[in-house]
Structure 1
Amino acid sequence: MATAKNVIVLLKFKSQPEKGDKTVLELTNLIEKVKEEPNFVSIKLHVDPKDPTNVLLYEEWEDASYYNNEHMNTEHIKSFMANSTNFLTGPPDITFWEVQRVFE
């Protein structure tokens, strides 16, 4: 459930040249598994229209501690990280944010 107390996680990925589509496919497959986890709220996958090797995930989670511990130690995350050397230039840039205000 989306609330102002949830943590927002931004992950910026850089695909290897000509592997933007592969990155999106691999992330889509991963997200299908992540959606089943506790504390998951939502993920939005974005691609830079000027450079398809730039991929951004906007994630919302109910519990930052869960995200940093249990989530990061799931088999699907570990498997994705091991496999990502085939299509990413390196690990993502990950930042955490708190919602200050919501405008709708």
Structure 2
Amino acid sequence: MKHRADFHRDEKSRGPAKDVTFIVTVALKPGCEEEFFGLLTPVLDAMRHEPTFINAVLHQDPEDPSRFMLYETWADLDDVVQVQMHRTYRKPFWDRLPDLLREPRRIETWTPMRRDFTFFASW
């Protein structure tokens, strides 16, 4: 069964001007990758069911396997700040993350302007 975010959204009801994309870059201490995945996976799995969630993609740096970039888009910045960041399913991840980092994470906020996706994913 496809999730709501898998289908083209009605831009009249939720226009791109309100959507927000976060690009989070995380550099882990070497050897912490497995624990990071173990903590992040339940967060990503739960986010998928949130009503304002649009998409998320986790990337790994091919030259540094302990460096990751998370790209996630949400339909409402206020909801992310006031509701999503405080979900209980995030707590184990937030509590443990500082000990896994080799440097402070970098968070950028972007406004989506255009979307081009295919429904086929090779991974």
TM-score band by shorter chain is 0.7 to 0.9
What value does the CA root-mean-square deviation take over the aligned residues?
Answer: 2.1
1:103 CA drift (Å) = 5.6
- Counterpart of 1:72? 85
Corresponding residue to 2:100 among 83, 87, 95: 87
1:11 to 7, 24, 34: 24
**Which protein is bigger by CA-based radius of gyration?**
2
Residue ranges of structure 2 left out of the alignment (5+ in a row): 118-123
Matched pairs, number: 104
Deviation at residue 91 of structure 1 after TM alignment: 5.0
Task: Name the stretch that deviates more: 22-31 or 55-64.
Answer: 22-31
Q: Under a length normalisation based on structure 1, what TM-score does the superposition of the two structures give? A: 0.83
Q: Distance in 2 between matches of 1:13 and 1:55?
A: 5
User: Equivalent residues in 2 for 1:1-104 (5 A)?
Assistant: 1=5, 4-5=16-17, 6-89=19-102, 91-102=104-115
Deviations 1:40-60 (A, max 9, x none): 111000000100111110001
Q: For CA contacts below 8 A with separation 6 or more, give which structure has more relative contact order.
A: 1
Secondary structure of the equivalent of 1:33?
helix
Structure 1 segments of 4+ aligned residues over 4 angstroms from their partners:
none
Relative to structure 1, the CA distance from residue 65 to residue 45 in structure 2 (aligned partners, 3 Å threshold; closer, same or farther) is same
Kept in 2, the 8 Å contact 1:46–1:55? The answer is: yes
